[in-house]
Amino acid sequence: MKKVMLSGGGTGGHIYPALSIAEAVRRRHPAVEIGYIGTTKGLEAQIVPKAGEISFFDVEIQGFKRKLSLDNLETVAKFIRAVRKCKEYIRRFQPDAMVGTGGYVSGPALFAAAKLGVPTLILEPDVFPGLTTRFLSRYVDVTAISLTGSEKHLTKAKRILHTGNPRGTEVTHADGDKGRESLGLSGSDKPIVLIFGGSRGAKPINDAVEAMLPRISEASHLDFVYVTGEVHYDDVTAKIETDKWPNLTVKPFIYNMPDVLAATSLVVARAGATTLAELTALGVPAILIPSPYVTNNHQEPNARLLEDHNAGRMILERDLSGERLWETIVEVMNDPQRHRRMSEESRKLGRPDAAEVIVDELEKISFNRR
C-alpha cells in the first residue's frame, strides 16, 4: 500500500488506535504516506501532529444530541458539508484504503470514502457500538470489532471481523523492568497493584482509595501505585501523609503506561476501551469501576464482559466504597490460583496481534478493489 487515510477523534480512545494502525502499516510499508481527517477542536489536532509524518486534513462536524433538539438540524447540515469536504480531501490524497476508529468525525470521512469506492474499514473499540459505527457499518467494507458481543448490535453490517483493539499491540512491546524503574520500585519484587481513574483521574475512585488507605499497611507484601490525575494530585497529597505507607507510591500521572502495566499484577481502573485492550493483551487481572457519565453508559458492558469471562471484577460506582474496594483487592491478590485464572482468561479476550490483523485486512480489501 502506498497511501492510507485515517479518521477518528474526540478522545484518546479513538485517536490512539488509529495511530497504532498507522505504525503497523509503516512497519510493513516503510514508504507509505499517511493522511488523517479530524477536527481542529478535538484532541486529534494536538496528538496527531506529534505522531510523525502524517498529513492532517480538518473538517467541521459535531455530534448528534441524544434528545430532540434544533441543534441536530445544524448537525445534519454540517455532516453534509463535511462529506463534501472529505470527498475533496480523498480525491486529492488518493488513498488505497481508509480506516475510521470512531468519534463523530469519522462519520463523514468514511461515508465519503465509501461513496467514492475507496476500500473502507471501521474499528469499534467498545462492546456497545457507538452511533457512528452503527450508521457506517452498512456502508463500509469491513466492521472490525475489538470485543466479543459487539456483533449482535451490528445486524446491518456488510462484514464483521473480530480483530481486537490495535492499542493492545503497543503494550506487548513494553518493558516491565523500565516500568518498575520509573516508579522507583526497581529494587522490589513485590506484586504491584496499580490504581488509576483515567488521564484526568476520577474523584469517586480517589475517595475510595483515601478511605481504604489505613488498610494498606496490612498488605506489606504488595506495592500500591496510586495515580490521582493531575487535577486531583495536590488535593490528595494535602490530605494524606504519603510517608506513612512505605508500600504506597502516589503519582499525578503516568506517561509510560505500557511499561508500568507490563510490571503490574492487578489494575483498578475505569473500563474504557483502550484500558481493556491493554489489559487483555498483557493478561492483567482488573477491578473495573465503569464511568456512569459516558455516552450510552458504554463502559459498563465493557466491564461486564471481563467479569462474565472471569477476567476481572466489576464494582459499579454507586456501590464503590473503600471497604468494598479493599475486600476485592485482597480477594484477588491473596488467592494465587484465582489471580492466575483471571490472568489466563484476560489473555484469552485480548488480541495482541490486532494491528497486524487490521493491516492484513486493509491489504486484502484494497487488493480486491483494484
Q: Other CB atoms closer than 10 Å to residue 256's CB: what's the count?
A: 15
Per the annotation, does 249 bind a ligand? no
- What span, in angstroms and rounded, lies between the C-alpha atoms of 186 and 112? 51
HSE (CB half, 13 Å, CA atoms) of 165?
33
Alpha helix positions (H), 116-199: 131-136, 167-171, 176-183
Residue type, 227: V
Alpha-carbon dihedral 277, 103, 132, 348, rounded to 10 degrees = 0
Q: Other CB atoms closer than 10 Å to residue 200's CB: what's the count?
A: 12
DSSP state of 139: T
Per the annotation, does 63 bind a ligand? no
Per the annotation, does 198 bind a ligand? no
Number of H helices, E strands in the chain: 15, 13
Residue-wise DSSP of 3-55: EEEEE--SSHHHHHHHHHHHHHHHHH-TT-EEEEEE-SSSTHHHHGGGGSSEE
Cell of 255: 506517561
Q: Other CB atoms closer than 10 Å to residue 40's CB: what's the count?
A: 11
Per the annotation, does 365 bind a ligand? no
Residue indicated by cell numbers 509524518: 53
Residue type, 240: I
Q: Are 125 and 273 in contact (CB under 8 A)?
A: yes
Please state the residue numbers annotated as binding site for UDP-N-acetyl-alpha-D-glucosamine.
11-13, 199, 254, 299
Residue numbering of the annotated binding site: 11-13, 199, 254, 299
